[in-house]
Amino acid sequence: MSKRLILLLFILTSGSFINAQDDDDDGFYEKFSEALHLEEERFNKNAGVLWLELHEAEPDNANINFRLGLSYLNSNENKFVALDYLRLIKSSQLTGNFDYLNAREKKAPYESYFHLAHAYHINSQLDSAEATFLKLENLISNKHYMRPLISHQLAMISSAREQIANPKKYEIENLGSVINSEFADVSPVISLDESAIYYTTNRIRKDSSNWDVIDQNYGNYFTDVYVSYRNKEKQWMAPEILNINEISSHTATINVSPDGQHLYLYISSGNNGNVYESSLIGEIWGEPVQMSHEVNSDAWETHVALSADGNTMYFVSDRSGGEGERDLYRSVKLPNGDWSKAKNLGDVVNTEWDEEAPFIHPDGRTLYFSSKGHTSMGGFDIFFTTLQEDGTWTKPENVGYPLNTCDDDMYFVTTPDGLRGYFSSDRPGGLGSDDLYIVHLPVSVSQGLAVLKGFIYPHEGQSLPTNLFIEVTDLESGETSSYVPRMRDGGYVIILPPCQEYEINYFQGESSIHKEKYFVPCESSYQELHKELYLNPLEVGGIAIVEDEDEGADTGIGVIPIGTRTDKNLIGKSEEHFQYNQTNIAATEAGFKAFMEDLKAGTEKYDYVEVTIEGSASKVPTKTYNTNDNLARIRATEAEKKLLSSLESYGIDKSKVRIVAINSLTQGPDYKWDAKKNMKVYEQYQYVILKAYH
């Protein structure tokens, strides 16, 4: 909508509209007045219904076609349809003296060409968009306020041509009707293990409690935050509304902490909005608390991205002194826990146009954001920039087409491995005005890091203790961070940046129940370690006993087990390393025979013995088993078969042996076409480990 039109509509009052004429038998003037009123109140969708009725009555009326097209563009619903009506306006129907209030006006303003060109642009009809912008340039004066806007639009058209001519190999999927609705669904926030997605939507609630509560500023329902969880089959479940939403204010997702215990929100009522933090208490989200005044100000703050270590915050603000209207800023946590003065990221990242929706990858160096500047191909495009060793940022790069389109593409977040991204976009084929999408990326641009993820399981029939937490200490700096497993399923995710050695300490209350060290090499590429811990139903001195799946195995990020509690309960262990593609444990192998003898002794001494099995594969490609994951899984299941088939020959009572975990890992250094030369190196990650505990 043009600035002049916005200004005029806002100063209108209902008494300023054209009075119905005596000969208004078909209600034309009455509908015109009502449509103007709805437009003033920003109920563009409702106004569009009346403009469409007036268009059907007078299909050649340029004034009506202009207003109808504009209502589609401004409502963000079916905005691609706006082109059908704006292009009905003939050049002979344009005027420089357009009367915005006159229902008898049959012509359209010069500015209608701007909106027509924009409609061509978002429909990817670039040649028509460019030609229309150039026509408009010839109609307006050199000092017209639209001239810089036109120049910017022409630059985006040029960028769009280049991006479309050089598409990236992206696989993009709509997240489907379980997640998306006929309303706007935006701003996805993903837990690090992709088990939960939080997002913002202005849909009608399931209980219809908000069906008659409308934001009078925008003519839409207020936004709420929902969450969907993924089941074991990796399918998204029906979304649930969070308990922190107010019915008459906007609540929107911004970010979630790595442990999933803190949710960052944008909350606004009226014209004021700020950034808040809510903490998970059990399975209920606590009352949102407004964040530091260094982030929140009298200006408009819309989005926050928190680094994985919680020490750096990137946010959006339109405060004075920036490069444009909305800029990206950075604040770091001080030793006393307060946030530092906010610093603008500068003109390498920020432009004279709007920047929005920052997301800092868990590597702490790769920053994604949306911008209308740089080389945007239309509206907001998604870009990334990298923090260099000297503290400067690299020139932002457009992630490219078809992830970016000629319209707004925003709120991009990635998984820790950088190979999948989630974002929101309004593009043809969607279910609503904006939908959530997932994109599979062929190459990760993120820096190396390791991710420790897993679950802590209570004994069958028991609940997970509420006083569990995990303490991570950087052994060089001494800095310590704490993580709390999810009460919902015991899951946890811990980011371990490279070039550091860490101590991981698992606590129940004040008592350490398991401890180990990890070293992540500086040259490490992305790696994952899966760790599952099992709590014994009995307690010794108030400390739960933990069954350690990974102790003694070389996990690819340098595990050095230092705990002794598990050793007190370990009664037998077998570890066999394999050559490429080998899967079977040799029954005659000395280590396996010794393990079976220990297992037999354990069943004779105790009521039962628990067994864990871990199969591992290196990253040397395997054609025989298709993928390394398959090879690792087959090694684990073959070990299970060998164990079960050997029980009888060793005289072991099957009923006294409980296999409590079968895990598989693909790990070790990335393959560098050196399978023969470095066979000994890769063989370290090709193994099966069996452990028996009492």
Same domain, 31 and 146: yes
Average pLDDT of the chain?
84
**Which pLDDT belongs to residue 272?**
65
| Reported confidence tier of residue 358, pLDDT bands at 50, 70, 90 | very high
**Which pLDDT belongs to residue 36?**
87
**Which pLDDT belongs to residue 541?**
32
- Give the residue, 7 or 311, on which the prediction is more confident: 311
Percent of the chain with pLDDT over 90: 41
**Which pLDDT belongs to residue 673?**
82
d(CA 30, CA 19): 7
Q: Give DSSP secondary structure letters for 285-325.
A: EPPPEE--TTT--SS-EEEEEE-TTS-EEEEEE--TTSSSS
| Reported confidence tier of residue 525, pLDDT bands at 50, 70, 90 | low
* Orientation angle between helical segments 112-122 and 147-165, nearest 10 degrees: 10
**Which pLDDT belongs to residue 506?**
87
d(CA 377, CA 373): 9
The two tokens of residue 150 are 């036109």
**Which pLDDT belongs to residue 423?**
96
**Which pLDDT belongs to residue 443?**
79
Among the listed residues 9, 31, 12, 11, the one whose alpha carbon sits nearest the alpha carbon of residue 20:
31
Q: What is the CATH number of the domain that holds 559?
A: 2.60.40.1120
Exposed / middle / buried, residue 500 (Cβ in 10 Å: 0-12, 13-18, 19+): middle
**Which pLDDT belongs to residue 346?**
94
Q: Which residue's structure tokens are 């003694």?
A: 552
- Give the residue, 496 or 226, on which the prediction is more confident: 226
| The pLDDT of residue 511 is above 90 | no
Q: What is the CATH number of the domain that holds 141?
A: 1.25.40.10
d(CA 226, CA 223): 10
**Which pLDDT belongs to residue 536?**
60
What average pLDDT does the segment 53-77 reach? Answer: 89
**Which pLDDT belongs to residue 662?**
73
Per mean pLDDT, which of 21-35, 101-115, 288-302 is the most reliable?
Answer: 101-115
Same domain, 99 and 148: yes
SS3 assignment, position 214: strand
| The pLDDT of residue 531 is above 80 | no
Boundary-marking domain end, from 125, 146, 165: 165
Among the listed residues 628, 638, 686, the one whose alpha carbon sits nearest the alpha carbon of residue 662:
638
Same domain, 539 and 626: no
pTM: 0.72
Tell me the residue range of the domain where 537 lies. 448-565
Boundary-marking domain end, from 137, 165, 193: 165
d(CA 592, CA 585): 8
The two tokens of residue 326 are 């909305």
Same domain, 215 and 260: yes
What average pLDDT does the segment 379-392 reach? Answer: 93
**Which pLDDT belongs to residue 493?**
87
SS3 assignment, position 602: helix
Percent of the chain with pLDDT over 70: 89
Same domain, 579 and 472: no
Among the listed residues 164, 178, 170, 119, the one whose alpha carbon sits nearest the alpha carbon of residue 377:
164
| The pLDDT of residue 253 is above 70 | yes
Neighbour order of strands in the sheet with 240-241: 185-190, 196-201, 224-229, 240-241
d(CA 215, CA 202): 10
What average pLDDT does the segment 387-416 reach? Answer: 93
| The pLDDT of residue 64 is above 80 | yes
The amino acid that residue 33 corresponds to is: S
Least confident of 123-137, 262-276, 620-634: 262-276
Which residues, 6 or more positions from 290, have their beta carbon under 8 angstroms from its beta carbon? 274, 275, 276, 296
Least confident of 21-30, 415-424, 477-486: 21-30
Least confident of 77-86, 341-350, 445-454, 648-657: 445-454
SS3 assignment, position 59: coil
d(CA 427, CA 79): 10
**Which pLDDT belongs to residue 566?**
39
- Give the residue, 160 or 503, on which the prediction is more confident: 160
- Give the residue, 283 or 243, on which the prediction is more confident: 243
Angle at CA 599, nearest 5°, toward 664 and 586? 55
| The pLDDT of residue 694 is above 90 | no
What average pLDDT does the segment 139-152 reach? Answer: 91
Strands 262-269 and 250-256: antiparallel
Q: What are the C-alpha distances in Å from 183 to residues 155, 205, 208, 550?
A: 31, 11, 14, 47
**Which pLDDT belongs to residue 370?**
96
| The pLDDT of residue 587 is above 80 | no
Spatial contact of 399 and 409, defined as CB atoms under 8 Å apart: no
Same domain, 426 and 520: no
Q: Give DSSP secondary structure letters for 603-656.
A: HHHSS-EEEEEEEEE-SS--STTSSHHHHHHHHHHHHHHHHHHHHTTTT--GGG
Boundary-marking domain end, from 370, 405, 440: 440
- Per-residue exposure over 357-372, b if at least 16 CB sit within 10 Å of its own CB, e if not: bbbbbbbbbbbbbbbb
- Give the residue, 404 or 527, on which the prediction is more confident: 404
Same domain, 161 and 88: yes
Spatial contact of 110 and 97, defined as CB atoms under 8 Å apart: no
SS3 assignment, position 482: strand
- Give the residue, 488 or 553, on which the prediction is more confident: 488
* Ramachandran quadrant class, 57 (left: phi over 0; alpha: psi -120 to 50; beta: rest): alpha
Strand partners, 494: 452
Same domain, 157 and 176: no
Among the listed residues 459, 486, 426, the one whose alpha carbon sits nearest the alpha carbon of residue 192:
486
**Which pLDDT belongs to residue 89?**
94
Q: What is the pLDDT of residues 594-653, one digit of tens each?
A: 999 999 999 999 988 888 888 899 999 988 888 888 898 899 889 988 999 999 999 999
The amino acid that residue 536 corresponds to is: N
Least confident of 100-109, 518-527, 541-550: 541-550
Least confident of 459-468, 471-480, 613-622: 459-468
Same domain, 413 and 550: no
Same domain, 559 and 665: no
**Which pLDDT belongs to residue 60?**
94
Q: Which residue's structure tokens are 């993580």?
A: 483
Same domain, 559 and 655: no
Q: What is the CATH number of the domain that holds 641?
A: 3.30.1330.60
What average pLDDT does the segment 385-401 reach? Answer: 94
Among the listed residues 51, 46, 13, 11, the one whose alpha carbon sits nearest the alpha carbon of residue 31:
51
Same domain, 391 and 454: no
- When divided into structural domains, the chain yields a total of 4
